[in-house]
């Protein structure tokens, strides 16, 4: 491992940089609109979202499909158009960067996508996939390959995995490869878009533990997008709940997933089934009670 050049293994440890004083990332009043087809009104995926992520922190972003959680991640990555609002990374606005500056940001902000089957180019070997982000920066092929060996070791894949193609790996292994790719340039923030929801239960836990371990070692921050409250509780320092393009609740993992305040979060929590028959029966009863209360108050409201 000593062969790896120092500039490839940055650690964002205690050595303070002036840009590190504020939060690592802050999003303020973010609005994302997608133009409607044929003079229809544009679709507003995010309606003024604000949040912050500190260095080395995991912010869990929970919501159901269509809530805008994935769009938020993509906006931070520069893959979705920002209509209003700002995204600030280490004190610098990044919501309207030029192409060249955006590319340079690849050093600091990376991504792990949900689907491990389509996020790796099936025609490239693992070596090609993992060296890609390194070669962009002008690192020599030899250094890049040394770095790849180290990355494979970090995500617990055999060292000879590099010569193989993605289709030779299982879903969990592919997701490790995607994580290794995200790590290759030692970023400060990784946007994880449902990285474990396509995985089997046993792989899911292992990948989450790997992410936590990497974070403890490298102080990378995660924006962890998921629909699963139990996953988010396991990995997040703080949790934000999205609903219809807005954040309805933020707080620590324990408070949001333990004593949710917003009715939507309460509903979400009670809807998630517990793998325990007796406790699930209780949760079901509580959910029905909540639903009954809701419809009663709606009736009262309309009466």
Taking the complex as a whole, how short is the minimal distance between the CB of residue 147 and other proteins, in angstroms? 14
Q: Cα separation of 36 and 39, whole Å?
A: 6
Stretch that binds other proteins, among 88-96, 139-147, 156-164, 267-275 (CB under 8 A): 267-275
167 lies in the site for other proteins, by CB under 8 A:
yes
The nearer residue to other proteins, 3 or 104, going by C-beta atoms, is: 104
267 lies in the site for other proteins, by CB under 8 A:
yes
Going across the sheet that includes 25-34, the strands are 43-53, 25-34, 84-89, 92-93
Q: Cα separation of 174 and 120, whole Å?
A: 8
49 lies in the site for other proteins, by CB under 8 A:
yes
Contact between 60 and 265 (Cβ < 8 Å):
no
Q: Which two tokens stand for residue 161?
A: 């995995």
The nearer residue to other proteins, 55 or 161, going by C-beta atoms, is: 55
The nearer residue to other proteins, 54 or 81, going by C-beta atoms, is: 54
Q: Which residues of 212-225 are buried (b: 16+ CB within 10 A; e: fewer)?
A: eebbeebbbbbbbb
Taking the complex as a whole, how short is the minimal distance between the CB of residue 103 and other proteins, in angstroms? 4
Stretch that binds other proteins, among 3-11, 57-65, 83-91, 148-156 (CB under 8 A): 57-65
Angle at 237 between CA 233 and CA 239, to 5 degrees: 65
The nearer residue to other proteins, 2 or 18, going by C-beta atoms, is: 18
Instruction: List the one residue from 147, 181, 211, 265 that touches other proteins (CB under 8 A).
Output: 181
How many residues bind other proteins (CB under 8 A)? The answer is: 90
259 lies in the site for other proteins, by CB under 8 A:
no
Q: Which of residues 116-145 bind other proteins (CB under 8 A)?
A: 117-124, 132-133, 136-137
The nearer residue to other proteins, 20 or 33, going by C-beta atoms, is: 20
Q: Which two tokens stand for residue 170?
A: 């299982």
Q: Which of residues 23-42 bind other proteins (CB under 8 A)?
A: 23
Beta strands in 75-115 (DSSP E): 84-89, 92-93, 109-112
Distances (CA, A) of 123 to 145, 165, 168, 181, 235: 19, 7, 12, 16, 33
Instruction: List the one residue from 52, 83, 86, 154 that touches other proteins (CB under 8 A).
Output: 52
302 lies in the site for other proteins, by CB under 8 A:
no
Distances (CA, A) of 58 to 188, 220, 275: 11, 9, 26
Taking the complex as a whole, how short is the minimal distance between the CB of residue 83 and other proteins, in angstroms? 18
Q: Which residues of 232-257 are buried (b: 16+ CB within 10 A; e: fewer)?
A: bbbbbbbbbbbbebebbbbbebeebb
Q: Which of residues 193-222 bind other proteins (CB under 8 A)?
A: 200-202, 204-205, 208, 212
Taking the complex as a whole, how short is the minimal distance between the CB of residue 219 and other proteins, in angstroms? 10
């Amino acid at each position: 491992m000593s062969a790896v050049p120092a500039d490839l293994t940055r650690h964002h440890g205690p050595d303070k940089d002036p840009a590190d004083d504020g939060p690592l990332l802050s999003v303020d009043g973010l609005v994302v609109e997608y133009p409607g087809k044929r003079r229809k009104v544009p679709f507003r995926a995010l309606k003024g979202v604000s949040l912050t992520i500190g260095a080395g922190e995991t912010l869990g972003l929970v919501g159901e499909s269509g809530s805008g959680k994935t769009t938020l991640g993509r906006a931070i990555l520069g893959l979705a158009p920002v209509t209003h609002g700002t995204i600030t990374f280490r004190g610098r606005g990044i919501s309207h960067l030029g192409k060249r500056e955006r590319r340079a940001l690849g050093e600091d902000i990376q991504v792990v996508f949900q689907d491990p089957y389509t996020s790796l180019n099936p025609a490239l070997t693992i070596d090609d996939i993992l060296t890609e982000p390194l070669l962009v920066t002008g690192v020599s092929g030899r250094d890049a390959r040394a770095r790849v060996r180290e990355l494979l070791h970090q995500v617990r894949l055999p060292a000879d995995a590099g010569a193989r193609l993605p289709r030779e790996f299982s879903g969990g292994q592919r997701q490790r490869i995607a994580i290794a790719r995200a790590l290759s340039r030692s970023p400060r923030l990784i946007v994880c878009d449902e990285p474990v929801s396509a995985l089997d239960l046993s792989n899911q836990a292992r990948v989450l533990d790997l992410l936590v371990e990497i974070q403890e070692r490298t102080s990378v921050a995660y924006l962890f997008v998921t629909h699963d409250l139990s996953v988010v509780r396991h990995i997040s320092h703080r949790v934000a709940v999205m609903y219809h393009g807005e954040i309805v609740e933020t707080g620590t993992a324990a408070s949001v997933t333990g004593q949710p305040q917003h009715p939507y979060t309460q509903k979400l929590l009670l809807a998630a089934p517990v793998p325990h028959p007796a406790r699930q029966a209780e949760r079901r009863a509580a959910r029905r009670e909540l639903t009954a209360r809701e419809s009663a108050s709606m009736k009262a409201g309309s009466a």
